[in-house]
Amino acid sequence: MNKGLFLIGAFGFAVLSACRHSASNAHDDDAQTEKHSKQDSHSEKDHGPGIIVLLSDNAKAAGIQVETVKPGEFHGVTITGGKILTAANDENTIVATVAGIVSVNRPITEGMSVDKGMAVFTISSSELQDGDLVQRALITYRTAKAEYERAKELIADRIITETDFLAAKAEYDNALLAYKAIVQNGTSKGVVVKPTNGGYVKECMVRDGDYVNVGQPLMTVTRNRRLYLRAEVAERDYAILNKITSAKFKMSYSDKVYDLNELDGHLLSYGKTAGNTSTFIPVTFELDNRSGIIPGAFAEIYLLTGSRSNVISIPTTALTEEQGVYFVYIQEDKDCYRKQEVRLGQSDGTRTEIVSGLKGGEKLVTVGAIHVKMASAGNIIPGHNHNH
């Protein structure tokens, strides 16, 4: 009997302890919830509605960067289109040195590398009606040499005139030049054609087995060290041409904005009139090809003109857009941000003029604005979670 009472008493004590522990945990959870509720409502109590709370540690983890807005110098901008062209002095056209049938010594593709003096083509005339060119040049040279040697003996004995001697000498000199020009690149298969400069194949104009004449272009090689940027400016913008100081541009296949000042670029020339078949005026810049820009590609070009003072401009990365309306995010304190509508002016691809919405002195989110936007919608950003 005593043993039964002891078991009942132990069971009751265990139930009572469990209830107390459960009540304690519930009290702690309520305290944590109240604490986080206070933290989440901190923006409206301390700063009013519309404030976005993003704790500094989470902002740092998301890579958010802030800079102070300051009025300063900003240039005029005219946006137009254009194209990247290979600089003329960086191109070398390989031409046929003799007439004949072309043999391509190795597969040629656009963009492949070729070295100076590389045997690219061989031109053979052995199957033509007039016979092999090298052999004909050798025969002509030997004949002219024999005539010249004979003329030297005859002129010494005054058997021929000075005019006849000079004519024989000219024939010999010409035959020697032709023979050397052909034989120095000649093989048993024909005359080898080599590039005079190394570079990259821009275009190959012939195929294996084609017949070519002397001087016919075979291939174009480019070194791509310097490039041209040609902008097409509408006639209505003619007045800005003499005010252009530099340019920035963005390729059709990339969002990266290139600055001519960083590519050792400069304005080369601009047209004085539009072309006969175009209503656009060409403006040409020269630049280094240090960034792998593809010749022949189209570009969006920002022509920069004279600077203006006391202009508020911000990095383009600070802007977000919603249904055609642009916004930025201003840091109120280390944990709080405010969404601000702005009206845009001109843009050079990297910075944008702000016509209204900012007055200077604001701490603006310039990198990571999308993360602040996501936080305002209650989304989780990198490095931020609600498991407090």
Q: Which domains does the chain carry? A: 47-71+312-376 (2.40.420.20), 78-87+225-308 (2.40.30.170), 88-222 (2.40.50.100)
* Per-residue pLDDT tens over the stretch 207-237: 998 999 888 999 988 887 789 999 999 999 9
Residue with more model confidence, 50 or 92: 92
Is the pLDDT at 261 greater than 80? The verdict is: yes
Residue-level pLDDT at 283: 95
Mean pLDDT rounded to a whole number for the chain: 80
In single-letter form, the type of residue at position 77 comes to V
pTM exceeds 0.85: no
Residue-level pLDDT at 22: 44
Integer Cα distance of 223 and 229 in angstroms: 16
Reported as a pLDDT band with limits 50, 70 and 90, residue 7 is very low
